[in-house]
Chain A
Amino acid sequence: MLQPIDSLNILLPILYCLVFAAYTYDFFTEKKFVSNSKRIILFVTLILHALYLVSRTIEFDHPPITSKFEIFSIIAFSIGFSYFILELLTDIRGTGAFIILFSFVFQIASSLFIEHNFVVPEVLRNRLLGLHVINALLGYSGITISAVYGLLFILLYKNLKANKFGLIFNRLPSLEILEKLSYYSAVIGFVLLTIAIIIGIIWLPNAFPKFSYFDPKLIGTFFVWIVYGIGILRKLFGNFYGKKVILFSLIGFVIAIMSLIITSTLGKTFHSFY
């Protein structure tokens, strides 16, 4: 089974590159043929990627979360998958290039440096851990997509304010739609992050003897969760429109990234598996 896994490992970045090229080409030209076929290419890529992840899980007897580069592949998949669902639900096809770029970058990094890990700590074979990590990654994918839509919102906002009616004006959906896409992505990300936190709180104290509620990674994640929670509540019950929503999403994303970087590199945590 190693041979097909290795082949898919080479094939996936090529496919993501192809999907990215198709979405980019369509963004610039709006050719009907490309517009219809790009979604099919993305679908096939995601199916193969899911197959790749399942194959790795079966072959190495653990979910693919035991190294940074396995995690990168899951991030690539979850971003692509989340975008695919969003495109199916909204039928807005003009923004794919900006999102799929992330899948491509994560997958190429993963494919270049991934290793076959047959021997891993026993804790990493736990199913609850798998669920915890996958939910957390999907959650972070959600807030990443939210941030990308936020950036597109800012781009179109500035173009409209400056009376620039070029490619951005012609190809992107309306500000209101971009705001909604950003908001809904953030909500989905927040819900998944909540699930990840709940699983973590239930399972982590049993799995790790050194568990501490004051662990920097836990505090960081909880802080990100609070920021998004406040933003979503204000949007739901307050007068929170347009640019304010977007700025909240972008600030939340920056905090999330900073928190991940700081807690992974500077702080001492039990919450590191590799």
Chain B
Amino acid sequence: MNLVGISINHKTSPLELREALHFNHNEIVEFIPRLKNSLFSEGVVISTCNRTEIFGFLKDHEINLSPVINELIQFKPVKGIQQEHFLKFFSCGAVRHIFSVASGIDSMIIGDSQILGQVKEAFEISEDLDFAGTSLRKIFDSAIKTGKRAIKETKIGEGAVTVSYAAVQVVEKIFSNLDKKSALVIGAGETGELAAVHLRDKNIGKLAISNRTIERAEKLAEKVHGEIIPYQFLKEQLHNFDIIISATSSDNFIISYEDIKSALKKRKISPVVLMDIAVPRDIDPDVKKIENVFYHDIDSLKIIVDQNLQRRKEQVPLVRKIIMEEMIGFFGWFNTLGVVPTIKTMRSFFEEIRNDELEKIKNKVSKEDFIKIEDMSRRMIGRILHNPTVKLREFAETGANIKEVAAHTMILKELFNLGEVPSNGKEINEEENKADRVNEKK
């Protein structure tokens, strides 16, 4: 199989190179015709913040990936990029890599939940641009199946692996129904935004944003359908929230021990969760001494992240097993492609003989008898060819030894003096099914 691929990712290059080579949707759409014209008969471009990869079947029989890399660099000129920044894949290795990417074990954060959707989307773009054939479709169908199986059958995607999500995980260990709780996110930067999005995804009952710059608070509040608490009134509103997540860039504490003590008094000692995910910290850590106050800072949340990452790493061998199973399945299918033309030729050969003989007796027997003979001869041919067809296909599906498959095919061709006929897997399947139906009826 002449599937090839190149990959520049977090293992091979620094962030600035990966960023520079990142393709958005429109760029992929623009780039694919260039690949189609010069290099590939079919292919896929996958681009995320941590990787850009091109996979496909080369038009040229010679396996040389340098033109692919050059095409990429020409399209996106990046200073300092070298051939060494790219991994190159061929045949079985390329399939394994695609499956690994889809299952999340090749991601920077093992078990990344977004990558499967990104792989799927990349393939859909190729399909829309008529750049994906049967084999590539099968490869990506199997890759997506691998990714889904990895999520379902292993714990590769379980547990929080970002600090903001870990904060939400801890909150869930304190409160059961977040839809009845209120949360305040202080700071509308990247971390605060992530925390707010996670809370919204968990159907938090009430969500409010507070930020020194009101415009940023408004922007985030609009995104997560939250309220805005003006920064200057922040301390007066603390008691209204069950969960407070703080992620500002302030140099000093913005919430003191006294603030929380007073808020808790107003809350009639109802529990409150404080997540301080800012560096330097926003909340006085002494608040943890107050009863019913659950305070966690970035260090304590990192313990959860590290534990979950370790657990995910332990799942990698299980995912590799799934990858291997899916590769066996894929190559089983792929190997049958080689025998399809032979099966087709063999069936045509026998069908021709049958038609010749039927033609000879057409005018010598009655119409009713001819129909009976026609049926009988079809059944006979079906039964004769059923076993060789099934055996040949099974033999190819095991994929154990390509040479042996070729030898068997060759013997068959020589025995019946068969020439090549253009292949069509679908037709063969239909013919086989027809023959099987006839046999079953019988």
For window 39-55 of chain A, which residues contact chain B by CB distance below 8 Å?
none
In A168-216, the 8 Å CB interface with B consists of: 169, 172-177, 180
For A163, the chain B residues whose CB sits under 8 A away are 296, 300, 303
A175 touches B173 (CB 8 A): yes
B436 CB → nearest A CB, Å: 38
In the assembled complex, the CB of A36 is this many whole angstroms from the nearest CB of chain B, namely: 16
A176-B176 Cα distance, complex, nearest whole Å = 6
How far does the Cβ of A178 sit from chain B's closest Cβ, in whole Å? Answer: 9
B350 in contact (CB, < 8 A) = no
Number of interface residues of A (CB under 8 A): 18
Chain B interface, >50% SS class: mixed
A239 to B304, CA, bound (A): 33
A82-121 interface with B by 8 A CB criterion = none
Given A163-B303, A241-B270, the answer on whether A156 and B291 have CB atoms closer than 8 Å is no
Q: How far is the CA of A241 from the CA of B303 in the complex (A)?
A: 28
**Chain B residues in 8 Å Cβ range of A172:** 173
The verdict on A242 contacting B300 (CB below 8 Å), with A169-B173, A174-B174 known, is: no
CB distance from B240 to the nearest CB of A (A): 16
Q: What B residues does A177 contact at CB under 8 A? A: 176
Task: Looking at the assembled complex, report how far the CB atom of B284 sits from the nearest CB atom of chain A, in whole angstroms.
Answer: 16
A61 to nearest B CB, angstroms? Answer: 48
- Find the A residue at minimum CB distance from B305: A165
Q: Can you list, as one digit per residue, whether each of B339-355 has a CB less than 8 Å from chain A (1) or not (0)?
A: 00000000000000000
Task: Please give, as numbers and ranges, the residues of chain A lying within 8 Å of B85 by CB-CB distance.
Answer: none
CB neighbours (8 Å) of B172 from chain A are 174
- Residue contact A180 to B176, C-beta cutoff 8 Å: yes
Partner of A173, one of B176, B291, B303, B307: B176
CA distance A177 to B176 in the complex (A): 6
Do residues A241 and B170 form an inter-chain contact, with CB atoms below 8 A? no
Q: Which of A161, A169, A241 contacts B288 (CB 8 A)?
A: A161
Contacts of B174 in A (CB 8 A): 160, 174-176
A243 to chain B, nearest CB (A): 7
Contact sample, A vs B, 25 pairs, CB 8 Å cutoff:
A156-B173, A160-B170, A160-B173, A160-B174, A160-B294, A161-B294, A163-B300, A163-B303, A165-B304, A165-B307, A169-B173, A174-B176, A175-B173, A175-B174, A175-B175, A176-B175, A176-B176, A177-B176, A239-B268, A239-B269, A239-B270, A241-B269, A241-B271, A242-B292, A243-B292
Interface mask (A219-255 → B, CB under 8 Å = 1, otherwise 0): 0000000000000000000010111100000000000
Separation of A135 and B269 alpha carbons in the complex (Å):
36
> Which of B177, B269, B296, B303 makes the CB contact (< 8 A) with A244?
B269
Q: Name B residues whose Cβ lies closer than 8 Å to a Cβ of A.
A: 170, 172-177, 268-271, 288, 291-292, 294, 296, 300, 303-304, 307
Contacts of B291 in A (CB 8 A): 243
Instruction: Report B143 CB to chain A, min CB distance, Å.
Output: 26
**Is the CB–CB distance between A241 and B173 below 8 Å?**
no
B304 closest partner in A (C-beta): A165
Expressed in whole angstroms, the Cα–Cα distance for A231 and B288 within the complex equals 27
Q: How far is the CA of A239 from the CA of B264 in the complex (A)?
A: 13
Min CB–CB distance A175 → chain B (angstroms) = 5
Name B170's closest neighbour in chain A (CB-CB).
A160
Q: Is the CB of A165 within 8 A of B271?
A: no
Q: Tell whether, in the assembled complex, residue A165 and residue B303 are in contact, meaning their CB atoms are under 8 Å apart.
A: yes
Q: How far is the CA of A90 from the CA of B304 in the complex (A)?
A: 27
In the complex, chain B residues whose CB is within 8 Å of the CB of A180: 176
Cα separation A47 to B176 with both chains bound (whole Å): 33
Expressed in whole angstroms, the minimum distance between the Cβ of B180 and any Cβ of chain A is 10
The distance from the CB of A246 to the nearest CB of chain B, in whole angstroms, is 12
Task: Give Cα A74 to B92, complex, Å.
Answer: 65
Using a CB-CB cutoff of 8 Å, which residues 135-162 of chain A contact chain B? 156, 160-161
- A163 vs B173: C-alpha distance when bound (angstroms): 12
Minimum CB–CB distance for B260 against chain A, Å:
14
Cα–Cα, bound, A177→B175 (Å): 8
How far apart sit A175 and B242, CA to CA, in the bound complex (Å)? Answer: 14
- In the complex, chain A residues whose CB is within 8 Å of the CB of B288: 161
Which residues of A are found within 8 Å of B307, using beta-carbon distances?
A: 165
Closest partner residue, chain A, to B303 (CB atom): A165
Q: How far apart are the CA atoms of A243 and B288 in the complex, in Å?
A: 15
Q: Are A241 and B176 in contact (CB under 8 A)?
A: no
- B176 cross-chain contacts in A, Cβ below 8 A: 173-174, 176-177, 180
Instruction: Give the CA-CA distance A180 to B180 in the complex, in Å.
Output: 15
- The distance in angstroms between the C-alpha atoms of A174 and B304, with both chains bound, is 16
